[in-house]
């Protein structure tokens, strides 16, 4: 009788597979990244007449762009699992549902962090932004992305088999991620030295959000996988 290798090894296996799928299909580089850059450009065109507003709004515009891109990435990630009976195969595999969840979160986090790295360069060029608080910015990006991926994987699994998943997932997810948007935006404003207060409480809030969803997701993924 086969035995699965444990949560960690299952998570690594799934994360490696998801990253390999992205490398093969190049949806992130070929579609999501151009979409994200296009959104940044459109914001720049829309607000450029008043450069001051564009500068003030940079953190918010950045995270709104990340959220939209994250929804696309999540839809792609879970659409793959809903094709060709893959969800049944995963249920039959004997892998730990928590391992599958954490693997998907890991892959999503890596993909989104790479996207954000490119978007930061885009913001620096298009919006003439200077990033000063790099450690805080890095912490905010990492924790916010973990929260987006953690919550997104829960709702991605929930919507995976639904015919209306393309429209339902943003409707479910975006309101839920409003706290991430607010905290990440405020934290980034501090890291850009637009506000005098410390940004670390915002990072802590993002950390709590990520922790709650990673914990919930690890437990909820089994029933979600069963009902998907």
Partner 1 sequence: MSAIVHLRSAVALIGRFPALAGVNLDVHAGEILLLRGPNGAGKTTLLGVCAGLIGLSTGEAVVLGEDLTRNRRAVRRRVGLLGHDSFLYQDLSVVENLDFWSRAAAATVADGRAALDRLGVASRLFELPVHSLSAGQRRRVSFAAMICRRPELWLLDEPHAGLDSAGRDLVDGLMSEAATSGATVLFASHELDRAEHVAHRSVTISGGVILDETPPSTETRADS
Residues that bind partner 1 in the complex, under the rule CB under 8 A: 1-5, 10, 13, 17, 20-21, 24-25, 80, 83-86, 88-95
Q: Which two tokens stand for residue 220?
A: 């909820």
Q: Which is nearer to partner 1, 4 or 198 (CB)?
A: 4
Q: Which is nearer to partner 1, 96 or 145 (CB)?
A: 96
What's the alpha-carbon Rg for the chain, to the nearest Å?
Answer: 18
Tell the smallest beta-carbon distance from residue 85 to partner 1 (Å). Answer: 3
Q: Which is nearer to partner 1, 25 or 117 (CB)?
A: 25
Tell the smallest beta-carbon distance from residue 44 to partner 1 (Å). Answer: 34
Tell the smallest beta-carbon distance from residue 14 to partner 1 (Å). Answer: 8
Q: Which two tokens stand for residue 137?
A: 């910015």
Q: Which is nearer to partner 1, 34 or 94 (CB)?
A: 94
Q: Which is nearer to partner 1, 17 or 55 (CB)?
A: 17
| Alpha carbons 111 and 70: distance in angstroms, whole number | 9
Which runs of consecutive H residues, i.e. helices, occur in 49-96?
51-82, 86-93
| Alpha carbons 160 and 77: distance in angstroms, whole number | 9
DSSP output for 189-203: HHHTTSSSS-SHHHH
Tell the smallest beta-carbon distance from residue 73 to partner 1 (Å). Answer: 15
Tell the smallest beta-carbon distance from residue 64 to partner 1 (Å). Answer: 29
**Distance between the two ends of the chain, CA-based, in angstroms?**
26
Which runs of consecutive H residues, i.e. helices, occur in the chain?
7-25, 27, 33-47, 51-82, 86-93, 97-126, 134-159, 165-176, 178-191, 200-227
| Alpha carbons 44 and 113: distance in angstroms, whole number | 22
Tell the smallest beta-carbon distance from residue 56 to partner 1 (Å). Answer: 42
Nearest to 59 by CA among 185, 171, 187, 194: 185
Q: Which is nearer to partner 1, 93 or 129 (CB)?
A: 93
Tell the smallest beta-carbon distance from residue 9 to partner 1 (Å). Answer: 8
Q: Which is nearer to partner 1, 90 or 142 (CB)?
A: 90
Q: Name the residue with tokens 């249920």.
A: 91
């Amino acid at each position: 009788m086969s035995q699965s290798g444990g949560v960690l090894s299952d998570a690594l296996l799934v994360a490696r597979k998801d990253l390999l799928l992205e490398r093969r299909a190049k949806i992130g580089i070929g579609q999501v990244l151009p979409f994200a850059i296009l959104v940044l450009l459109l914001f720049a065109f829309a607000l450029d007449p008043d450069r001051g507003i564009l500068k003030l709004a940079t953190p918010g515009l950045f995270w709104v762009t990340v959220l939209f891109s994250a929804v696309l990435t999540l839809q792609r990630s879970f659409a793959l699992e809903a094709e060709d009976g893959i969800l049944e195969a995963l249920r039959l595999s004997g892998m730990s549902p928590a391992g599958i969840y954490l693997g998907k979160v890991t892959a999503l986090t890596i993909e989104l962090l790479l996207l954000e790295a490119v978007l930061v360069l885009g913001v620096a060029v298009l919006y003439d932004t200077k990033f000063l608080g790099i450690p805080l910015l890095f912490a905010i990006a990492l924790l916010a992305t973990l929260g987006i991926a953690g919550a997104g994987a829960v709702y991605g699994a929930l919507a995976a088999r639904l015919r209306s998943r393309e429209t339902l997932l943003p409707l479910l997810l975006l309101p839920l991620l409003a706290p991430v948007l607010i905290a990440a935006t405020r934290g980034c404003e501090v890291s850009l030295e637009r506000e005098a207060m410390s940004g670390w409480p915002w990072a802590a809030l993002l950390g709590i959000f990520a922790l709650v969803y990673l914990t919930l997701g690890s437990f909820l993924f089994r029933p979600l996988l069963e009902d998907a």
